[in-house]
Amino acid sequence: MSESFSLSPLEIEEYRLGNGLRVTLNPDPAVPVVAIAVYYDVGSRNERPGRTGFAHLFEHMMFQGSQNVPKAGHFQYIMKAGGTMNGTTSSERTNYYETLPANQLPLGLWLEADRMRSLAVTQENLDNQREAVKEEKRLRYDNQPYGQIFDIINQMIYRNFANAHSTIGSMDDLDAATVEDVREFFRLYYAPNNAVLSISGAFDSITAKELVNRFFGDISSQAAPPPVDVSEPPEVAENYKKYEDNLAPFPAFLIGWKIPPRRTRKFYALYLAGKLLYDGESSRLYQKLVKGDESVIQLFGFTDERRGPSSIFVGAIPKPEKDLSQIRETIMKEIADLAGRGPSPEEMQKLHNQLLNDTVRMRQSSMNRAQAIAEFTLYDGDPTGVNRELEELLAITPDEIRSAVAEYLETENRALLDVVPGK
């Protein structure tokens, strides 16, 4: 990457309504579409023992109708207008988003405002969505080979309940939830002062502000939710566990480490180390284990980015008759090499090219821009952070990567989950 190359900053305007709703506008007339993203500051991190799964349950509840929108009407309105939409839940937040033709911005804002103001929290809807969550758990977790392993290793990495428990939650907790519990959760967390509205795409800013004020301005704010303690001791909770998976056709393993919070220099260094180790066909471990030894069916790894202590994972499904311990030894040797010598100049050039490519691709999508801006606003209180992240990543030195790998990955302070096929 040329040292003189830089990207123009995204145009971003931020303001706040009287009820506390944070609004970000990113006008870009290149394509006649508009993206809307609403981020609520509630995820599994906000749940307490005996009350898990509420954040994810609400992702389902938010499509069950509101004062002026019938059940499933949100989907129908968006689809008939030629748009797409969805919602997701993580440890950090719950988000809802739609991409629409540019002239349909009023529809998208009206739909989001109506459910923020007047979600239909009824016994019937609660019962329906409880069953929907249970079915999702059966499909995605319980009845999938290796479906439980990431929930298990999170419990091995984190000691703090806020960080360790599953986003999908406990079915017993959901069964015990009453309509009053759910209404209180909605009142507390789905308030405008606990949310960010991000709009990106082809729109006129003056018109957008008028629409936002018309639809969201009179929604009542609420008392701030209780603060969340996500602090962690440095040590992982558990170093080793063997898990028998009755659906797994082959043995597998997953290694996890606890690392610093997002947007710290050490987090960035470890994120870049992860890209070097397992991201793409040119990565070290893909070249060694998939192309070279041909010893694994699948190699996987990712960085779980959180506002508090985060984590990084590497795992593999070996080919039949291949030695798991040998594959793990290869992984740890590559980590030791990175901790000892750091990345090569060629690897740093590749990283910089990847980062630039990723950033350009993100900016080409109005929805990706809307979501990235919303995250920086919600997590950091600064939407313009999206304009600095590439520069911050490019500033990480080879020695910072080497040092962070030595401190956090080349260590016995890690969790190893062995998955064995059921009998």
Cα–Cα dist 204/28, whole Å: 9
Domain range annotation of the chain: 13-216, 240-421
Q: How many CA atoms lie within 13 A of 123 on its CB side?
A: 1
Distance of CA 112 to the CA centre of its chain: 21
Cα–Cα dist 32/29, whole Å: 7
pLDDT for 5 equals: 59
Give CA separation, 180 vs 116, 139, 221, 242, 371, in Å: 17, 29, 19, 40, 31
8 Å CB contact between 178 and 281: no
Number of neighbouring beta carbons within 10 Å of residue 130: 19
Cα–Cα dist 371/368, whole Å: 5
pLDDT for 190 equals: 97
Residue for token digits 């123009």? 8
Cα–Cα nearest to 312, from 411, 418, 379: 411
Cα–Cα dist 320/317, whole Å: 9
Q: Residue 1: is it exposed, middle or buried by C-beta count within 10 angstroms (0-12/13-18/19+)?
A: middle
The DSSP letter of residue 6 is -
CATH of 240-421, picked from 3.40.50.300, 3.30.830.10, 3.30.70.260, 3.20.20.70, is 3.30.830.10
Fold match, 13-216 / 240-421: yes
pLDDT for 2 equals: 40
Strand partners, 315: 254, 300
- 137-141: list long-range contacts, CB under 8 Å, 24+ apart: 137/168, 137/171, 140/168, 141/168
The DSSP letter of residue 120 is -
pLDDT for 6 equals: 73
Identity of the amino acid at 7: L
pLDDT for 27 equals: 98
pLDDT for 1 equals: 39
8 Å CB contact between 419 and 245: yes
Identity of the amino acid at 252: A
Three-state SS annotation for 323-375: CHHHHHHHHHHHHHHHHHHCCCHHHHHHHHHHHHHHHHHHHHCHHHHHHHHHH
Strand partners, 300: 315
CATH level 3 topology of 13-216 = Cytochrome Bc1 Complex; Chain A, domain 1 (3.30.830)
Three-state SS annotation for 171-218: HHHHHHCCHHHHHHHHHHHCCHHHEEEEEEECCCHHHHHHHHHHHHCC
Strand partners, 84: 99
Please count the residues of the chain: 423
8 Å CB contact between 159 and 3: no
pLDDT for 409 equals: 98
Cα–Cα nearest to 244, from 170, 148, 340, 179: 148
- Phi/psi for 51 (5° steps) reads -135, 40
Cα–Cα dist 309/262, whole Å: 8
Number of neighbouring beta carbons within 10 Å of residue 267: 22
pLDDT in tens, the chain (423 residues): 345 457 899 999 999 999 999 999 999 999 999 999 999 999 999 999 999 999 999 999 999 999 999 999 999 999 999 999 999 999 999 999 999 999 999 999 999 999 999 999 999 999 999 999 999 999 999 999 999 999 999 999 999 999 999 999 999 999 999 999 999 999 999 999 999 999 999 999 999 999 999 999 999 999 999 999 999 999 999 999 999 999 999 999 999 999 999 999 999 999 999 999 999 999 999 999 999 999 999 999 999 999 999 999 999 999 998 999 999 999 999 999 999 999 999 999 999 999 999 999 999 999 999 999 999 999 999 999 999 999 999 999 999 999 999 999 999 999 999 999 987
Q: Are strands 296-304 and 310-318 parallel, antiparallel or unpaired?
A: antiparallel
SS3 104: helix
Cα–Cα nearest to 215, from 342, 296, 105: 105
Number of neighbouring beta carbons within 10 Å of residue 121: 21
pLDDT for 423 equals: 75
Cα–Cα dist 266/94, whole Å: 26
Q: Report residue 294 as tokens.
A: 């041909």
Q: Are strands 33-40 and 13-16 parallel, antiparallel or unpaired?
A: unpaired
Cα–Cα dist 422/14, whole Å: 54
Cα–Cα nearest to 232, from 95, 408, 90: 408
